[in-house]
Each structure stands twice: as structure tokens, then as C-alpha cells.
Structure 1
């Protein structure tokens, strides 16, 4: 998913992201503010994913 598409879908994805990745707090999601790189960074930080793993997780959940 590219950044423009992600930004456009962020409001829809935000609620789902909290369900998919329960360790992400409302504050975390507020900081993401529709920025793909920030979400991927949070997934790396909270879950120990590599960048590629974070991208794959997001991709499989948003198909």
C-alpha cells in the first residue's frame, strides 16, 4: 500500500488497527496521523517486527 492510499483510508483503518494490534494505544494511533511510515515504525517498536514483516502484516490485513 502506498502512502497516498494509506492516508486516504486511515480513518477506516484506525479502528481496525487497534483490533489487529492490541498493543497500540489511542495515543500511538493519534501520532500515526495517517502516515504509513509512522505505523510501520510503531509495529516494529511494539512487536519487534522487521520493516519487511511490518509491511507484510499491514498488506495481508488490508487486502
Structure 2
């Protein structure tokens, strides 16, 4: 599934994102609203990972959905 599809169905994927990244709050997920760049930024902020690490995680997660 490509990111445009995830973005379009974000409300359906929010729960799965919360399971994957438990440090993200419901407010974080609402603010992200399916935007990949915002998701990456929040993950970097919450987990202290590099942009490359976060991008790989997002790619892996999105490929499963």
C-alpha cells in the first residue's frame, strides 16, 4: 500500500500506528493526520532516533498495511 492510501484512510490506521509506536498520544496522531513527514518528526521527537531510522520504520510499517 502506498502512503497516499494510508493518508486517505488515516482514521483507520491510527490505532495500528498507536500499537506500533506507543509513545504517540491520540493528540499526536490527530495532529499527524496521515502526514508522513509529521509522523517522522513526532517519532524522532518521542524516540530520539535519526531521520533514517524513523524512515525505515515507517517504510516497514506501511508495507505491512
Give every structure 1 segment of 4 or more consecutive aligned residues whose post-TM-superposition deviation is greater than 6 Å: none
Q: Which residue of 2 aligns with 1:53?
A: 53
CA RMSD of aligned residues (A): 1.8
Question: What is the TM-score with the length of structure 1 in the denominator?
Answer: 0.83
TM-score by length of 2: 0.81
Aligned pairs for 1:1-63 within 5 A: 4-63=4-63
Superposition deviation, residue 26 in structure 1: 0.3
* 1:5-50 residue CA offsets vs partner (Å, 9 max, x unmatched): 4412422321111001111000110110111110000000000111
Cα distance in 2, alignment partners of residues 17 and 56 from structure 1: 15
- Give unpaired runs (5+ residues) of structure 1: none
